[in-house]
Homo-oligomer: A and B are copies of this chain.
């Protein structure tokens, strides 16, 4: 029998990732990972330190919002920049299954094992919202809309529709996008009031 630690480590980690992406946090277990990797579970403990170690590695290696990084260097001074940035965020959210499942995971538990992973992914997510912080009037509305986008993204895995909205159609997601853009516009086009009090 051939022996290659690097290769088996890779098999284990990839199996862990694909289980998480395809079947969600509940499907991620030592037995399931070992079975999928076709390897003894002992090795998961030996090479990674169990599930906790795998989560830690994911925290370090995971690419959660890498598509945002390029944009984040820009100034984001204008309303159009802000809209472009928001659209990049919703696109990332829609397409990155790994990010989706980690966000789902945060709704289920928060313990020793997951803490580091969540801390890191939240840090990445925070970069998006750092922008809207500058516009305190828009801030909470913006958070709600992105939060809603996350909610519907997660919901769409098991539900075809939300009330009257078809969550399987491209058109619906475009409408959500448009709603975000329009809200950004409305908050910026409103008649300037006398003070910074924008509640």
Using CB atoms and an 8 Å cutoff, list the residues of chain A in contact with chain B: 24, 26, 104, 106-110, 118, 122, 125-126, 129, 133, 137, 140-141, 143-152, 154-155, 157-159, 162-165, 175-176, 178-180, 182-183, 186-187, 190, 199
Chief secondary structure at chain A's binding surface: helix
Give chain B residues whose Cβ lies under 8 Å from the Cβ of A178. Answer: 140, 199
Give chain B residues whose Cβ lies under 8 Å from the Cβ of A143. Answer: 148, 152, 162-163, 165, 176
State in angstroms the CA–CA spacing of A152 and B74 once bound together: 29
Give chain B residues whose Cβ lies under 8 Å from the Cβ of A110. Answer: 158-159
Apart from A129-B164, A144-B145, 5 more pairs, CB < 8 Å: A108-B108, A144-B180, A145-B148, A147-B152, A186-B187
Give chain B residues whose Cβ lies under 8 Å from the Cβ of A151. Answer: 147-148, 150-151
State in angstroms the CA–CA spacing of A110 and B189 once bound together: 42
Whether B141 and A179, one on each chain, are in contact in the complex, defined by CB atoms closer than 8 angstroms, is yes
State in angstroms the CA–CA spacing of A182 and B139 once bound together: 12
Whether B140 and A144, one on each chain, are in contact in the complex, defined by CB atoms closer than 8 angstroms, is no
State in angstroms the CA–CA spacing of A165 and B129 once bound together: 10
- In the complex where A146-B148, A180-B144 touch, is A155 in contact with B186 (Cβ < 8 A)? no
State in angstroms the CA–CA spacing of A118 and B199 once bound together: 36
Whether B179 and A129, one on each chain, are in contact in the complex, defined by CB atoms closer than 8 angstroms, is no
State in angstroms the CA–CA spacing of A71 and B51 once bound together: 49
Shortest CB distance A167–B (Å): 11
**Please, could you name 20 A-B residue pairs with CB atoms under 8 Å apart, sorted by A?**
A24-B108, A106-B159, A107-B155, A108-B108, A122-B162, A137-B182, A140-B176, A140-B179, A141-B183, A143-B162, A143-B165, A144-B144, A147-B147, A147-B148, A147-B162, A150-B151, A175-B199, A182-B199, A183-B183, A186-B186
